[in-house]
Chains A and B, each alone.
Chain A
């Protein structure tokens, strides 16, 4: 009797577990279906853009639309590239980005090191001031910034895009400081016993340890700068100085009807950010996770 009961209980137990597992599997499949549907919504505009870049006008306006180009027209890329100086815009965006990313990694990490590891008067007040500037929208300071740049004689040069971005990034300082703070003080103490100076502590001990954070900041900066539209719009006038988003906007103004060319130009414009993103996307997550936004 007792034995039968135990047996019965076991049977029900396995039955429930099996049912749960089956239910779990169905839920898992449903979850994947929903997630794939969502991922399609997120990516279809890009796929449509890229595929359309290979079409000619007769294919572009087909109703119902045919997604796969037939035949593939490769010349759209060459034509959109040649109609406007996209090559120059590419060069401009790339060199501006390289300078700004490099400069920011140096200036932000130096400030982050100081805020985390050195004691000096007003340190905490200055840090709060840095954080507070993150609250100021760029549009609030854009007119004065324009006037300052005019005073420097920098309008229609790349300096208004390069210099402020290289020298001020409160978010970057904050991000890197979080990482520097997490380095145990014993490491520095040991190096100090060996006679290391401040610069050595910063460059030889701290920098190598915060490489993931530096990568994250570099990627954030690259993506933000590459896509920036408002500031170039204000500071640049000559097409040969334009960055990629500005050139694309100019292109749109001139070829609003030739959608194939526009799609080719857009594809060319987003290619570098996609490459940087694919290479560095794990650092983006790490960067966000470790900024301490959990509170």
Chain B
């Protein structure tokens, strides 16, 4: 009988493909990235051990600091944006007729390629003949901003696009979360005479905190990795105003061929993400409410 006993052979046979992939394409590269961060290397010559020099350089590197500032600013705009709109849309859709059809439309941007989306928005954001500015002028007689070419506006523009692009994903998470809330809470609240707004504030929001928690972590991890939009639409510009951390890693590795510095930047990005996640896990204990 193989029912309850330990079954080492079959267990390892079944996980072998994924385990091999994990070792060769995830763990080995991770170890190599750490080692590389302590090396000076241009990809061709000899590797030279330089200790913490790459990290010291990274923290003084003006490009890295700009990238860090931009990425943080971007995250501060995008994460609350996709979370708040995600909750509102999900609550609006939860019980409404034609929910399925709405859901298709709201999630559509999230499934489309970043390149196609970036190409379309290059046009929509064009300051002279793009849709937004043309209508601003026609309807309100306002000269619209230079969405992608003004150093102060380019990052909010890209954030706006990212919110539009990513809100559908969070909406689906919140819809799933709403499905898990028992109707009896609302019935009880209704009997007690609670208004819709009070029900939203005291039932929906608290019972959605586990989903909000999960969505926040995933959104922050995702937005710290922003790259495609600024690479395609602005090339990180104007004057590095949309230059992001991943752009920096890409630039140092595959344009400047300073692999060690790039790896150090990547490790710093990883540590930032780990720290932010750890902080959230810690704070989560205070505000996340689990049922039962």
* A positions within 8 Å CB-CB of B: 28, 31-32, 34-35, 38-39, 41-43, 45-46, 48-49, 52, 61, 63-65, 106-108, 110-111, 113-115, 118-121, 123, 126, 129-130, 133, 135-148, 163-164, 166-170, 173, 189, 192, 198, 202, 223, 226-227, 229-230, 234, 244-246, 248-249, 252, 256, 259, 262-263, 265-266, 269-270, 273-274, 277-278, 281, 284-285, 288-289, 293-295
Contact = CB atoms under 8 A, between A and B. Distances in A.
A135 B274 CA distance: 8
Interface string B18-54: 1111101111111011001000000000000000000
B228 A147 contact: no
B232 interface: yes
Contacts of B12: 114, 120
**What DSSP secondary structure best describes chain B's contact surface?**
helix
Interface in B83-106: 89, 92-93, 96, 102-106
Interface residues of B, number: 95
B227 A143 contact: no
B164 A35 contact: no
B10 A245 contact: no
Contact of A167 (B20, B113, B214): B20
Contacts of B33: 140-141, 143-144
B68 to A, nearest CB: 14
B210 interface: yes
A110 B30 contact: no
B221 A168 contact: no
Given A223-B111, A285-B172, A295-B210, A65 B10 contact: no
17 contacts: A35-B92, A35-B102, A45-B120, A64-B138, A114-B12, A119-B5, A137-B225, A137-B269, A142-B253, A144-B28, A167-B22, A167-B24, A202-B14, A229-B114, A244-B113, A259-B123, A263-B120
